[in-house]
């Protein structure tokens, strides 16, 4: 996503030189969100999610090389490929994204145990996800939660095993976590909370998952969604600084001149939030464009006030800002109706907000409200919590 957007931006900004896009997936750059939602449920192809249609790359002289980059040779300014070839660069942008964390338990390599990142992963999962099948979803972060919802929607029974008490609790807090518990339970998902899978069993194919607390969850498929690690293997042995991703400054420049990074793999010095590595689509898109402009010599800081969304069943969630630790959570709206905005404050400063199902009511518009919250966050505002909680005090 980030690499494709960067190539597009370079051309839009008038760069006429050679652009080579190296990637080991066969498809042109695309957005992954439908892989846990509409595409997984068979409701949509990926054509609407391409950064640019396949023909654009040829028409705009962007060379796509379908290969794995194995090493960056900084001294010779070369990217080495798995096929023994190498490509010379003047400027290099690294957008290798993330790799799924693997569950290191016995049976994790049994057929029927899936993870989800690529189209091929999704297609393989779809084959096994027949209506009436039983599945185990391991991890209830965003991807686990969305997969649990989509599988349920296509008639697959889901048991979801999660270490905490509630889905998304570590990112959104216990209040919103509790709402997500209700949403998944009402849809028929069995939440196996406070537990973890210690083993998969089956004769030649997965038949059950065994948990630490001794549950035996019979299943025909399992999906492991326990987070990602930044894909930084190709930088091993180089002097490019890496610490939870590729360290870049506010303008997406790495510690080595002429080399830039963006997207899930980049750990960015954000002018507002400090060091932050973001694993979301909107950032991949906007940071890819920002990094391209930096490659062309711009010194501008990338200060995007982060946003992301998640769709689960009919529920639409949006998030703006960034916060890891907060000391006050303020709720506007109704937990019972599942129509709410939650505000996260740290020492009185509004740092982030999450919205759930605020669209559809003429008085409430989720996009407007989140944009208004974003402006307050960008200004590092200290809003009165009573006003935040009060529906009659318009956020806009």
- Look up tokens 């019972």; give the residue: 336
CA-angle at 389, arms to 385 and 392, nearest 5° = 120
- Nearest distance in Å: CB 6, ligand FAD: 9
CA distance 125 to 121: 6
- Nearest distance in Å: CB 328, ligand FAD: 26
Nearer Cβ to ligand FAD (22/330): 22
CA distance 171 to 377: 17
Nearer Cβ to ligand FAD (107/245): 245
Which among 208, 33, 188 has a CA at the least distance from the CA of 105? Answer: 208
Nearer Cβ to ligand FAD (309/313): 309
Nearer Cβ to ligand FAD (162/289): 289
- Nearest distance in Å: CB 183, ligand FAD: 16
β-strand partners of 328:
345
Burial of 59 (0-12, 13-18, 19+ CB in 10 A): exposed
- Nearest distance in Å: CB 385, ligand FAD: 28
- Nearest distance in Å: CB 23, ligand FAD: 4
Nearer Cβ to ligand FAD (21/364): 21
DSSP secondary structure string for all residues of 205-267: S--EEEETT--EEE-SEEEE---EEE--GGGTTSS--BSSSEEE-TTSB-SSTTEEE-GGGEE
- Nearest distance in Å: CB 170, ligand FAD: 17
Which among 216, 383, 377, 204 has a CA at the least distance from the CA of 305? Answer: 377
By DSSP bridging, strand 259-261 and strand 92-94 are: parallel
- For 162, phi then psi, to 5°, come to -140, 145
Nearer Cβ to ligand FAD (254/310): 310
Burial of 187 (0-12, 13-18, 19+ CB in 10 A): middle
CA distance 45 to 18: 31
- Nearest distance in Å: CB 106, ligand FAD: 26
- Nearest distance in Å: CB 362, ligand FAD: 26
Nearer Cβ to ligand FAD (177/263): 263
Nearer Cβ to ligand FAD (220/279): 279
CA distance 161 to 59: 48
- Nearest distance in Å: CB 81, ligand FAD: 8
| Residue nearest ligand FAD (C-beta atom) | 263
Positions in the binding site for ligand FAD (CB under 6 A): 1-3, 22-25, 32-33, 35-36, 68-69, 95-97, 116-117, 143, 231, 234, 263-265, 279-282, 284, 308-310
- Look up tokens 């750990």; give the residue: 267
CA-angle at 98, arms to 271 and 39, nearest 5° = 110
Nearer Cβ to ligand FAD (15/309): 309
């Amino acid at each position: 996503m980030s690499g494709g957007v960067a190539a597009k931006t370079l051309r839009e900004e008038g760069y006429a030189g050679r652009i080579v896009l190296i990637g080991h997936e066969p498809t042109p750059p695309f957005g992954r969100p439908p892989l846990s939602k509409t595409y997984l449920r068979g409701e949509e192809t990926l054509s609407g999610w391409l950064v640019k249609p396949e023909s654009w790359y040829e028409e705009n002289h962007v060379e796509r090389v379908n290969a794995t980059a194995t090493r960056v040779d900084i001294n010779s300014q070369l990217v080495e490929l798995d096929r023994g070839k190498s490509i010379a660069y003047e400027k290099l942008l690294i957008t290798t994204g993330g790799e799924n964390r693997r569950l290191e338990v016995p049976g994790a390599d049994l057929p029927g145990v899936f993870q989800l990142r690529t189209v091929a992963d999704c297609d393989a999962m779809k084959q096994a996800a027949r209506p009436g099948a039983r599945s185990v979803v391991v991890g209830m972060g965003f991807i686990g939660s969305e997969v649990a919802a989509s599988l349920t929607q296509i008639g697959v029974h889901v048991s979801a095993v999660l270490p905490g008490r509630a889905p998304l609790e570590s990112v959104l807090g216990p209040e919103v976590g509790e709402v997500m518990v209700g949403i998944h339970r009402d849809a028929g998902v069995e939440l196996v909370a406070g537990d973890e899978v210690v083993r998969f069993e089956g004769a030649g194919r997965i038949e059950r998952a065994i948990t630490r607390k001794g549950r035996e969850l019979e299943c025909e498929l399992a999906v492991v969604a326990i987070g990602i690690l930044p894909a930084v293997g190709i930088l091993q042995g180089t002097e490019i600084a890496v610490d939870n991703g590729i360290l870049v400054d506010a303008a997406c420049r790495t510690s080595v001149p002429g080399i830039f990074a963006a997207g899930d793999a980049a750990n960015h010095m954000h002018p507002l939030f400090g060091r932050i590595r973001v694993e979301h689509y909107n950032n991949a898109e906007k940071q890819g464009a920002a990094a391209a402009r930096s490659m062309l010599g711009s010194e501008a800081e990338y200060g995007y006030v982060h946003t992301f969304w998640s769709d689960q069943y009919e529920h639409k969630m949006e998030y703006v800002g960034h916060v890891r630790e907060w000391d006050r959570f303020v709720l506007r709206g109704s937990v019972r109706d599942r129509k709410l905005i939650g505000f996260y404050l740290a020492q009185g400063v509004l740092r982030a907000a999450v919205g759930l199902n605020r669209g559809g009511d003429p008085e409430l518009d989720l996009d407007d409200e989140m944009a208004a919250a974003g402006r307050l966050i960008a200004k590092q505002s200290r809003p009165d919590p009573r006003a935040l909680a009060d529906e009659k005090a318009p956020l806009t």
